[in-house]
């Protein structure tokens, strides 16, 4: 990742630091005040290690980008904080459940909820987080936001079920892969951008356009995640390297790699999948030899172009620039 991309992202967070602090404080206060003794240790655990809050960032930037004079009324701002907190809670809940499904012991450099308290507690706690997010959305009074986020959660569940049904099916097609990541990841990005637009009172055309930006960005985000799972060192994603493949999840780099394999290499790879013992050094060597990263980056570039087109008609502002800087960071993080 370039130094320029990192500087851009730092500037984005600096631009809306006040808003993000309010969202963080609101999440912390909401979870701590609403949790009983049984839930409190789990609440403290998830609050100790928060991620980059990409979805609240997108929501906040979309709201300012599409609002009149890039400003929000007091009522709009109150809704913004609640909805941003709700969407981050949805994301947190999905991660808690993902770790159960993937049997993952590490999340963001610390033990996962599943590893520390067990699967039953993790499942219950994930549902608990979802329920709080629904309460916050209801309090915002925006039925359109409730509809958008409900559809996103529905898509996330459908994507997870589709992926579970296809585990260890190593002949997954590119179209099926993209259908899964659209639901599992991109749909929530779409909803984050649309929800920000809805809070700001944007027009239907603006809402759809910024939703298109969210879709393209979400697709890039998941594809780069999948690349880093294989060619990274585990530090980028704060999880164990190769975790997706070990869990039987076939991602875009492997779809392209299998297309390039010789018969002998294909058999060697299939032996690894059967034994669940993967030679990641060999896999990385093959990915480099066949130029798989280059091919994946062509997909990323096509989504990047779509994202830029989606924002092309938005009025120029520091917030629109910040959305494009987030795009630049996600594109270049692999």
Q: Which ranges of 103-142 would DSSP assign to H, the alpha helix?
A: 113-117, 119-140
Reported pTM = 0.92
Give the pLDDT of residue 26: 97
Task: Write the CATH number of the domain with boundaries 3-332.
Answer: 1.10.600.10
Rounded to whole angstroms, the Cα distance separating 304 from 296 reads 12
Q: How far is CA 226 from CA 35, 219, 221, 304, 327, in A?
A: 35, 11, 9, 17, 17
Residues 257-267 have pLDDT tens digits of 999 999 999 99
Core vs surface per residue 166-195: b (16+ CB within 10 A) or e: beeebebeeeebbebbbbbbbbbbbbbbbb
Say if residues 209 and 76 touch (Cβ distance below 8 Å).
no
Take residue 84 and report the two structure tokens written for it.
């941003």
Q: How far is CA 53 from CA 24, 84, 191, 230, in A?
A: 9, 9, 14, 23
- For helices 54-66 and 204-231, the axis angle rounded to 10 degrees is 150
Token pair 């006040």 is at which residue?
A: 18
Take residue 297 and report the two structure tokens written for it.
């980056």
State whether residue 250 is helix, strand or coil.
coil
Comparing C-alpha atoms, which of 94, 14, 96, 28 is closest to residue 60? 14
What residues does 107 pair with on adjacent strands?
A: 110
Say if residues 43 and 93 touch (Cβ distance below 8 Å).
no
Say if residues 142 and 199 touch (Cβ distance below 8 Å).
yes
Take residue 6 and report the two structure tokens written for it.
């990192």
Rounded to whole angstroms, the Cα distance separating 5 from 326 reads 9
Rounded to whole angstroms, the Cα distance separating 171 from 215 reads 25
Domain layout of the chain by residue ranges: 3-332
Can you list the positions of beta strands (E) in the chain? 106-107, 110-111
Give the pLDDT of residue 72: 96
pLDDT in 10s for each residue of the chain, 334 residues:
568 888 889 999 999 999 999 999 999 999 999 888 889 999 999 998 778 899 999 999 999 999 999 999 999 999 999 999 999 999 999 999 999 988 888 887 789 999 999 999 999 999 999 999 999 999 999 999 999 999 999 999 999 898 888 777 777 899 999 999 999 999 999 999 999 999 999 999 999 999 999 999 999 999 998 888 887 654 444 445 566 777 778 899 999 999 999 999 999 988 988 888 888 889 989 999 999 999 999 999 999 999 999 999 999 999 999 999 999 999 998 6
Give the pLDDT of residue 228: 86
Say if residues 138 and 115 touch (Cβ distance below 8 Å).
no
Give the pLDDT of residue 241: 59
Take residue 101 and report the two structure tokens written for it.
């499904």
Rounded to whole angstroms, the Cα distance separating 312 from 309 reads 5
Rounded to whole angstroms, the Cα distance separating 144 from 44 reads 32
What residues does 106 pair with on adjacent strands?
A: 111
- For helices 74-102 and 54-66, the axis angle rounded to 10 degrees is 150
Rounded to whole angstroms, the Cα distance separating 156 from 80 reads 23
Take residue 77 and report the two structure tokens written for it.
């701002």
Termini Cα distance of the chain:
7
Give the pLDDT of residue 229: 80
Q: Count other C-beta atoms under 10 Å from residue 100's C-beta.
A: 19
Comparing C-alpha atoms, which of 110, 113, 88 is closest to residue 99? 113
Comparing C-alpha atoms, which of 4, 62, 88, 8 is closest to residue 326? 8
């Amino acid at each position: 990742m370039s130094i320029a991309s990192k500087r851009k992202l730092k500037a984005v967070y600096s631009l809306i630091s006040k808003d993000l602090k309010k969202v963080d404080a609101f999440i912390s206060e909401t979870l701590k005040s609403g949790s009983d003794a049984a839930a409190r240790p789990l609440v403290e655990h998830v609050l100790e290690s928060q991620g980059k809050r990409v979805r609240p960032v997108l929501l906040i930037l979309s709201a300012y980008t599409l609002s009149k004079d890039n400003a929000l009324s007091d009522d709009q701002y109150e809704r913004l904080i609640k909805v941003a907190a709700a969407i981050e809670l949805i994301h947190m809940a999905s991660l808690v459940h993902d770790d159960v499904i993937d049997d993952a012991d590490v999340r963001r450099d610390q033990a996962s909820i599943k590893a520390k308290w067990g699967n039953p507690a993790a499942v219950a706690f994930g549902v608990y987080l979802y329920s709080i997010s629904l309460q916050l959305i209801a309090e915002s009074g925006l039925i359109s936001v409730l509809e958008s986020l409900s559809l996103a959660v529905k898509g996330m569940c459908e994507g997870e079920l589709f992926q579970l049904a296809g585990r260890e099916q190593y002949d997954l097609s590119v179209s099926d892969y993209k259908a899964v990541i659209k639901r599992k990841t991109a749909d929530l990005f779409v909803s984050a951008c649309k929800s920000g637009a809805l809070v700001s009172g944007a027009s239907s055309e603006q809402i759809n356009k910024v939703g298109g930006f969210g879709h393209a960005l979400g697709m890039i985000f998941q594809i780069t995640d999948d690349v880093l799972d294989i060619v990274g060192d585990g530090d980028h994603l704060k999880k164990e390297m190769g975790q997706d493949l070990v869990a039987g999840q076939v991602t875009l780099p492997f779809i392209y790699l299998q297309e390039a394999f010789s018969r002998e290499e294909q058999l060697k790879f299939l032996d690894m999948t059967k034994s669940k013992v993967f030679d990641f050094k060999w896999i990385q060597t093959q990915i480099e030899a066949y130029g798989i990263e280059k091919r994946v980056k062509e997909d990323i570039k096509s989504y990047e172009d779509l994202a830029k087109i989606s924002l092309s008609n938005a009025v120029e502002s520091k917030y629109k620039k910040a959305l494009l800087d987030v795009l630049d960071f996600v594109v270049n993080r692999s």
